[in-house]
Amino acid sequence: MEAAKNQLDKFMRFSYTDFYYSSFVDLSEKLCKLVPDDFDKMVFWGNSGTEANEAAMKLARNHTRRPLFLAHGGALSLTASKSIHRVGALPLVPEVVHFLYPYCYRCHWKQKFPECDYYCIDYFKEEYLEKFVPVDEVAAYVFEPCQGEGGYIIPPPDYFRRMGFLKKEGVLFVDDEIQTGMSRTGKFFAVEHLGIEADLISIAKGMASGLPLGAIIAKANIMQPWKPGQHASTFGANPVAVAAALATLEVGEIREVDPKREEDGRDRYEKA
Ligand SMILES: Cc1ncc(COP(=O)(O)O)c(C=O)c1O
């Protein structure tokens, strides 16, 4: 709150799509450094998770020139958690294919893990990819690393690595970290638990501790070809929200668990 108030006293509006100011560049750099994978990155700023996912969908179609999406993620066309969301709003973005999130505790196929040997993936290949989803028409697989809005479901440990076969088919992996990001699962991004690399990461919600802010971090080769004016946001990277986000990251860093914690039983937060 202090950071936001200080920023309010200076200025509260700046159009980052036309001009630069240093704090959102700092925040972009900090965010990119928190991505575990070592590739050149670019950031697009909006005000919410929905805007981040919309940007991801646009980027994915633009990059791949493919129409389809496989969805395990959030925002109206991508979510399948409650049908009431769709009442009065249909039709939505066409060519979004939903399939069941892997849920071992209440397996949809009445299998037992690990004896099932990831039957859910075999099912997906046989009943989706072979029957009605031509994989070379798929732009992206949008997923939550651990499901949130649709029930808090932890996928079986190797699920996403095994789904990595889609990458070989040219499908981009869009990691929706809008609920799971900001260290909520013990790592800054939950994708770090999965052993896979995301091509695009969306983040929002807690990033600015209650002020509206959302972002997409993309591989530079995916975002770079966007031409000036192809995508924009009036209030994205609002200076007040950015100041709050920078302060939030500082607090988050203090609370990160020290790797030596198991040895000496203390974390950096306690030491600070
Ligand atoms: C996983 C996920 N993605 C996207 C969204 C959309 O975010 P927002 O409400 O900020 O538009 C939500 C919102 O609950 C979400 O949980």
Domain spans in the chain, listed from the N-terminal domain onward: 2-253
- Rounded Cα distance between 172 and 138, Å, is 8
- Provide CATH code, domain 2-253: 3.40.640.10
- Give residues (CB < 6 A) around ligand 1: 48-50, 53, 73-75, 144, 148-149, 176, 178-179, 204-205
Output the pTM of the full model: 0.92
- Rounded Cα distance between 269 and 272, Å, is 5
- Rounded Cα distance between 122 and 128, Å, is 10
C-alpha 167 to ligand 1 mean position (Å)? 25
Residue 175 φ then ψ, to 5° = -95, 110
pLDDT number for residue 259: 55
Amino acid at 250: E
Q: Which residue in this structure is represented by tokens 């609370």?
A: 255
Amino acid at 43: V
C-alpha 26 to ligand 1 mean position (Å)? 24
Neighbours of 271 (CB within 10 A): 9
pLDDT digits (tens, 9 = 90+) for 234-252: 999 999 999 999 999 998 7
pLDDT number for residue 251: 86
C-alpha 50 to ligand 1 mean position (Å)? 6
Chain centroid to Cα 104, Å, comes to: 23
- Rounded Cα distance between 76 and 240, Å, is 27
Residues of the chain short of pLDDT 50, as ranges, are 256-257, 261-272
Which ligand 1 atom is at minimum distance from the Cα of 51? 11
pLDDT digits (tens, 9 = 90+) for 125-139: 999 999 999 999 999
C-alpha 116 to ligand 1 mean position (Å)? 32
pLDDT number for residue 265: 42
Cis peptide bond upstream of 114, omega within 30? yes
Q: Which of 178, 189, 202, 233 to mutate to test the pocket of ligand 1 (most atoms within 8 A of CB)?
A: 178
Q: Count Cβ neighbours within 10 Å for each residue of 162-185 and write b for 16 or more, e otherwise.
A: bbbebeeeebbbbbbbbbbbbbbb
pLDDT number for residue 228: 86
